Amino acid sequence: MTATATPTSDATLLETDLLVVGAGPTGLFATYYAGFRGHRVTVVDSLPELGGQVTAMYPEKLILDVAGFPAVKGRDLVSGLVEQAATAEPTYLLDRTASTLEHGDDRVVVGLDDGTRVAAAAVLVTAGIGKFSPRPLPAGDGWLGRGLEFFVPSFEPYAGKDVVIVGGGDSAFDWALHLEPVARSVRLVHRRDAFRAHERTVQQVRDSSVEIITRAEVTALRGEETLASVEVTVDGEPTAYPAQAVVAALGFIADLGPLQQWGIEVHKRHVVVDSAMRTNLPRVFAAGDITDYPGKVRLIAVGFGEAATAVNNATVAIDPTAHVFPGHSSEGS
């Protein structure tokens, strides 16, 4: 999902009420809600497009845990969130990383990697898992773009192909389920008998034509210019299968990057917050998958609620005369 990114120069200092770091679903909803509270909003994200991981990795995935939608495609959810966020008239600073943080008496100054500095009365970190890179497939060295991919942004390129998916998590099973009616054949290879994916999705794949191969690993990819087959080894016995496409859904290596140098409290790569979504740093809040607290559940739906909580509490930091609770958005003025 594209948006107009504000051009800046090295000497630029932008002033805003709320700086949102992360333009995924939680950040986009926070942007809308900050506009509802009457704030000027600036949004920074290291990716060149809005939507975070959903846009980058799962635009065709059906999301089943957003209230009001029995099922909604990732790209459609992001499109609606972008339209909603537009009511806040935000300033988007895309393809840039929030690098440094300095505290003043009544504001926070965040430096970006392009030299831009943003002075904000409050900062809301909604950076998901931070910067992420896919875990490599050991046998896939040299095959990326020649039959090996880590994401499935579109199903069309897999039409009529023999596809091998490697992994046992939600992404692997979601892609297997969606590619099954498109591809000529789909095989899912996992190193264990147990899966991390949601039980309902696992059962749907078991009930489909997808072949599930467990206690196995892909040990070789073969072909000339493009992929033609893969070798799958089970209990030391290799078997060759036709394959013109391999999807390695082995998870991601997450990195909070410069955020860890801010002095923000982190627990196992997540930012620690209280019930008001406050971090240990003054005027710095966090919401969404990046946060950690007792009982935390990492769902998009939870992130939306945390975004509203964070914005309402940040409002008091932005304007000490304001109230945390604004009244309901459905109430008339």
CA–CA distance, 277 with 33 (Å, rounded to integer): 15
Residues that constitute the known binding site: 26, 45, 53, 58, 98, 132, 289, 330
CA–CA distance, 209 with 226 (Å, rounded to integer): 25
Write the CB contacts of 240 (distance below 8 Å, at least 6 apart in sequence): 222, 229, 230, 231, 232
From 24, 65, 15, 62, select the one nearest 42 (Cα to Cα).
Answer: 15
Quote the tokens at residue 99.
């690098």
Residues that constitute the known binding site for FAD: 26, 45, 53, 58, 98, 132, 289, 330
Q: How many CB atoms lie within 10 A of CB 47?
A: 18
Return the C-alpha torsion angle 174, 151, 90, 308, nearest 10. Answer: 30
CA–CA distance, 81 with 76 (Å, rounded to integer): 9
Query: Which amino acid belongs to residue 252?
Result: F
